Amino acid sequence: MATELPTTDIRISAEAIRHCKGGTPIVCLTAYTYPIARLLDRHVDLLLVGDSVAMVLHGHKTTLGASLEMMIAHGQAVMRGSARACVVVDLPAGTYEATAAQAVTSARRVVDETGCQAVKLEGGLDMISQIEAIVAAGIPVMGHIGLQPQSVEKDGGYKIKGRTEEAVAALLRDALAVENAGAFSVVIEGTVERVAADISRRLAIPTIGIGASGECDGQILVIDDMVGLTVDRVPKFVKEYADLRSVISHAAETYAAEVRGRTFPGPGHVFSATNSRDDT
């Protein structure tokens, strides 16, 4: 039976997320920085420090630009900025695929250096030994099946999954493999809606959808996509809840005009020699 998550500043654990299967949908967003984590923490259940940070904040064309050091630095920032949300950090490409021992070493470093509650890795049947080994080491694992951004070069682009019967069968095998290996939840990305819905019904662990199905046990979006900060192509599955592109552009335009017109800084933004109370 699904349980309710705490509403206070008690940190939500990966195990608590596992027990949300079939209950109130799990609210997830990505976060990469301290101020964003501060703003999101009281509204969400799970914050993912995704390797999408390589694209969103560092300008890489794919997530393959992420490194373990990059993920740890952003994971530390998000942990400092959050008190309640379960924080999950992505293991970037090249840090876990080779062997189970490599996966455990990378996961242990991420958890020890950030204090996060879990790690996430991409893959299904091919990642069973890695998931099992990380879980056996006492580190919770979130899986990721369907469209896998770390495989974009191998797949020849971002291609929606589950459009053939063979692909549907493979997705179900991957989902069950991730569950049986001990993952506490699994992201389903870029997958035909009815397929993602069927997988969600079949699994005993929560599914987190992104471009998948409303029947998933939770949903996640990239924060910059969600608030309208993405400056390149916005994926079809994204709903923009704000338009910060326009807000920031307008603010910069106004600031530039005031600086050039010498109206900023004004009297209220400079310090006097006689009043010490304004030195803040």
Q: Residues with catalytic annotation? A: 189
Alpha carbons 200 and 176: distance in angstroms, whole number:
11
Cα–Cα distance measured from residue 197 to residue 214, given in angstroms and rounded to the nearest whole number: 8
CA 269 – CA 255 distance, rounded (Å): 13
Rounded to 5 degrees, what are φ and ψ at 46? Answer: -140, 130
Q: Where are the alpha helices (DSSP H) in 115-215?
A: 128-136, 152-155, 165-181, 193-202
Decide: 64 and 44 in contact? Cβ < 8 Å: no
Nearest Cα to Cα of residue 205 among 233, 231, 175, 228: 175
CA distance 62 to 122: 15
